[in-house]
Structure 1
Amino acid sequence: MSTILFGSISTLADTSELQRRAFNDAFQAYGLDWEWSRDDYTSMLSSNGGAQRIEQFAATKGVDVDAAAVHAKKSEIFQELLGSSSISPRPGVVDVVEEAKRGGHEVGFVTTTSQGNIDALLAALKPHISAEMFDLIVNRDSVSSPKPNPEVYEYALKTLGADAGDVVAIEDNVGGVSAATAAGITCIAFPNENTAGGDFSAADETVDSLDATKILGLTAPDSRS
């Protein structure tokens, strides 16, 4: 059985600017005189992990902060923003999910974000996308190492009983692409508005919209011959 794995929140809906706003609001809530511009934020997206970004940024400022607490506040704000904002699935996402399900393929959502963020996103995307559409949803508690470590994809393969050669991953950031390819999975890069300038040369293809027929075709046994 072929499998399609969506690799992060912004492969389903482009939430990158909401994320940046949530970071800045969290900084303000903690009395930090920080304001991440879009250029600032874009430069940080080559690595995964919001708390790590906060910690690294604090180090450059010579400031000691509780990065985990600030990041938890950011997640709280982000979830509130998802609930109050009008977001929609990215181009082709619904077609890919629906076509995969019609064809008897498995569909997974393989992230290393919190379950709270996942729940808020899927609630905001109803009725277009819902948790029931996924055969597997992975969050950061499922694994010990975040992307770009391939553990999250190895966990998904094991849980679904899937062979890497029958799987296509869709990722929006460089770290996610690295994780998927390290697990031996064909990866389609689907950059969001703030990761579009990244180096996606490790991906099998980079697209700005998803084509269901093409993506499902990549899981065919002879597609790599």
Structure 2
Amino acid sequence: MSAVLFGSIGTLAETSEIQREAFNDAFRAHGLDWHWERADYLAMLRESGGRDRIAGYAAQQGTEVDADAVHRSKSQAFQKLLATSGLTPRPGVVDTIAAARDAGVKVGLVTTTSRENIDALLDVLGPDVRRADFDVVVDTSEVSAPKPDAAAYVHALDALGERAGDCVAIEDNGDGVTAAAAAGVPCVAFPGANTADHGFSDARSVVDRLDPADLLPGR
């Protein structure tokens, strides 16, 4: 095993409900009478891409919106909410990163979210999880297509100089698992509270906490 690749900020901390709250804050800021309940949002999470969720929902409602502008407001709201969230790392994350570093195994964060969202989360999780813990951090500005496309993983593997089969990915949603599989990276599904019902047939296993002994066999 040469690298452990965390596939989204949701693999590091439970951010999904904060994301939903940020969407609703953005809708209010733009004068939209929309409110996504948790049940609505669970269905939307089967496909990646916040901007596309907004555009798709607007089309369903027969409403014209500037999806890019609403999504920018959502990202700003998300970052503000994170700052006061008191979030902590998900079970096993800190131990997995520490074990990988101790064993000389590279660690990556392979997302298709913005650099600002990543920085905001790591500010909250520090010092338990820090930017310096990662040998590569991939954000949306560095990839040609969002997940389930393999582009983010291809970019990370190139940056690390590692072969897909020598790495393991950790993903919390179905599109992420599909992206890892498309890049040839074995994947462990680590679903969050809002993604537990996603399909994970391409994952080698589904876990509710990370175990360094499983992710780093023989280390």
TM-score by length of 1: 0.96
What RMSD, in angstroms, separates the aligned Cα atoms of the two structures? 1.0
Deviations 1:34-64 (A, max 9, x none): 0101110000111111000000000000001
Residue 166 (1) aligns with residue 161 (2): no
Shift of 1:85: 1.1
Return the offset for 1:202.
1.5
Paired residues for 1:34-113 under 5 Å: 34-113=34-113
Percent of residue pairs identical? 55
Alignment of 1:134-173 (within 5 A): 134-173=134-173
State how far apart, in whole Å, the 1-side matches of 2:122 and 2:12 are.
Answer: 9
Which residue is equivalent to 2:26? Answer: 26
In 2, the alpha carbon distance for the partners of 1:170 and 1:103 equals 18
Return the TM-score normalized by structure 2.
0.98
Structure 2 counterpart SS, 1:217: coil
1:204 maps to a residue whose letter is R
Deviation beyond 6 Å, 4+ runs, structure 1: none
User: Which ranges of structure 1 fall in alignment gaps of 5 or more residues?
Assistant: 221-225
- Alignment of 1:213 with 2:216, yes or no, is no
Q: How many residues align?
A: 219
Question: C-alpha separation between the residues in 2 aligned to 1:45 and 1:95?
Answer: 28
The residue number in structure 1 matching 2:196 is 196
Larger deviation: 201-210 or 95-104? 201-210
Aligned to 2:118: 118
What's the secondary structure of 1:168's corresponding residue?
strand
**1: CA distance between counterparts of 2:203 and 2:44?**
20
Task: Give the counterpart letter for 1:108 in structure 2.
Answer: G
| Per-residue Cα deviation, 1:18-49 (whole angstroms, up to 9, x for no partner) | 00000001001101010101110000111111
Question: Which residue type is aligned with residue 8 of structure 1?
Answer: S
Rounded Cα–Cα distance in structure 1 between residues aligned with 2:202 and 2:160:
25
Structure 2 stretches lacking a partner, 5+ long: none
